[in-house]
């Protein structure tokens, strides 16, 4: 892991802010208005309120409140509107970021993510997980990953079965979005032919998209159909703890792509947990899980220990989550004893 120069970190923040503002502007159009908030089940969500002559104000959902969206709201209030960003502005920022050494996504994968974003997958609560999210998190944390654990074209998208808030007039068609790319995406036949496919792959290539959803119980295995995505997703245990309260991130490809990724603390602890749940045939993946957890943890214990505390306290004391994280820390201690010790000190008592 290497620190990115401060000017490169600043450029990345600018790219992310421009992408968030661009999405908000596309959602609300050119009609004047102001931002308002609503609290739903303890979470605060932003809406853009527009006046309607002779009627009640119209409110358009923008997203869950978080630092980058708050900056966009503040800039909109101070400047009296959104700042204008063109596609060339975004392309120039991405080119400068690649030259500065940020983690750039390969063109085919970036193209897939762009199509999914344009279809509304991330506006509808989709969260990028796995190695692609790890790459984005490095940029968000202001570091460059130096490991070899980034070599994959797997795109893993997680989505809750139901959204916490309603997003009217929006529906994402994942199969159609992938088909529109003309890359040859086909559904991967499921093990049980009675079940729908939860994966799409380009024949003869490594490019693959997997759809995941939190399992309602540890025994749930049957794919769950997600109407808003017009596709089925594979239930995965403990995924709810990973994707709760995601953050916005920018994929740096040919053009920037706005995505949701897990919070860094949840990502790191989930990687510890899942590394201990791999079977004997997946030990290479378990090692990759531990290595990615280590790299994120090294940044968090130094810069953002509160993220780890929040992620740890989000899970109940009973159950397999905390015991699995402890087992992951035991395994991590054999390779990086100092980092494991510092994590335990942050998460007292562990």
What per-residue confidence (pLDDT) applies to 318? 64
Q: How would you label 284-299 residue by residue, b for 16+ Cβ within 10 Å and e otherwise?
A: eebebbbbbbbbbbbb
Would you state the structure tokens that stand for residue 48, as one six-digit string? 């853009």
Tell me whether residue 189 is exposed, middle or buried, using C-beta atoms within 10 angstroms of its C-beta: 0 to 12, 13 to 18, 19 or more: exposed
Average pLDDT over residues 3-15: 95
- Tell me the C-alpha distance between 216 and 240, whole Å: 9
What per-residue confidence (pLDDT) applies to 249? 96
Whether the predicted pLDDT of 198 surpasses 70: yes
Q: Residue 12: which pLDDT band, with cuts at 50, 70 and 90?
A: very high
What's the CA angle centered on 49, arms 18 and 228, to 5 degrees? Answer: 70
Residues 6+ apart with CB under 8 A from 243: 127, 129, 158, 159, 160, 214, 262, 266
What per-residue confidence (pLDDT) applies to 122? 94
- Tell me the C-alpha distance between 95 and 169, whole Å: 34
Give the CA distances from residue 335 to residues 78, 130, 233, 282, in Å, rounded to whole numbers and listed in that order: 50, 22, 35, 19
DSSP string, 65-88: --HHHHHHHHHHHHHTSPPP--HH
Whether the predicted pLDDT of 94 surpasses 80: yes
Whether the predicted pLDDT of 102 surpasses 90: yes
Q: Indicate the range of 14-23, 41-50, 191-200, 338-347 predicted with least confidence.
A: 41-50
pTM: 0.90
Average pLDDT over residues 32-46: 84
What per-residue confidence (pLDDT) applies to 168? 62
Task: Look over the chain and give the mean of its residue pLDDT values, rounded to a whole number.
Answer: 88
- Tell me the C-alpha distance between 215 and 299, whole Å: 30
Residues in a beta bridge with 213: 235
DSSP string, 294-312: HHHHHHHHHH-HHHHHHHH
Would you state the structure tokens that stand for residue 121, as one six-digit string? 């997958």
Tell me whether residue 248 is exposed, middle or buried, using C-beta atoms within 10 angstroms of its C-beta: 0 to 12, 13 to 18, 19 or more: buried
More confident residue, 282 or 32: 32
Would you state the structure tokens that stand for residue 115, as one six-digit string? 């199509």
Q: Indicate the range of 108-122, 279-293, 319-333 predicted with least confidence.
A: 279-293
- Tell me the C-alpha distance between 158 and 211, whole Å: 6
Q: Residue 281: which pLDDT band, with cuts at 50, 70 and 90?
A: low
Q: Among 253, 267, 232, which residue's Cα sits nearest to residue 129?
A: 267
């Amino acid at each position: 892991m290497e620190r990115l120069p401060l000017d490169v970190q600043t450029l990345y923040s600018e790219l992310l802010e421009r992408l968030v503002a661009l999405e908000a502007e596309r959602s609300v159009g050119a009609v004047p208005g102001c931002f308002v908030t609503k609290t739903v089940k303890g979470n605060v969500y932003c809406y853009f309120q527009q006046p309607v002559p002779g009627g009640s104000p119209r409110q358009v959902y923008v997203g869950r409140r978080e630092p980058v969206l708050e900056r966009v709201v503040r800039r909109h209030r101070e400047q009296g509107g959104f700042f204008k960003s063109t596609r060339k502005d975004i392309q120039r920022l991405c080119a400068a970021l690649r030259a500065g050494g940020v983690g750039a996504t390969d063109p085919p994968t970036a193209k897939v993510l762009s199509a999914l974003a344009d279809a509304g997958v991330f506006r509808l609560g989709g969260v990028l997980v796995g190695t692609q999210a790890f790459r984005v998190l490095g940029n968000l944390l202001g570091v460059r990953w130096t490991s070899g654990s980034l070599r994959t074209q797997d795109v893993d998208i997680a989505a809750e079965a139901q959204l916490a808030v309603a997003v009217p007039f929006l529906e994402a068609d994942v199969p159609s979005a992938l088909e529109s790319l003309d890359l040859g995406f086909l559904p991967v036949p499921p093990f049980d032919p009675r079940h729908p496919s939860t994966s799409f792959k380009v024949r003869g290539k490594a490019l693959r998209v997997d759809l995941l959803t939190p399992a309602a119980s540890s025994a749930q295995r049957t794919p769950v159909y997600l109407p808003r995505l017009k596709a089925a997703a594979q239930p995965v245990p403990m995924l709810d703890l990973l994707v709760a309260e995601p953050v916005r991130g920018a994929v740096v490809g040919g053009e920037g792509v706005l995505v949701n990724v897990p919070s860094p603390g949840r990502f790191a602890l989930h990687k510890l947990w899942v590394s201990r749940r791999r079977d004997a045939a997946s030990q290479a993946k378990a090692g990759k899980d531990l290595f990615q957890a280590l790299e994120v943890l090294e940044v968090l214990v130094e810069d953002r220990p509160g993220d780890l505390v929040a992620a740890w306290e989000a899970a109940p004391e009973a159950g397999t989550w905390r015991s699995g994280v402890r087992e992951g820390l035991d395994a991590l201690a054999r390779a990086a004893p100092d980092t494991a010790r510092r994590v335990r000190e942050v998460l007292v008592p562990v």
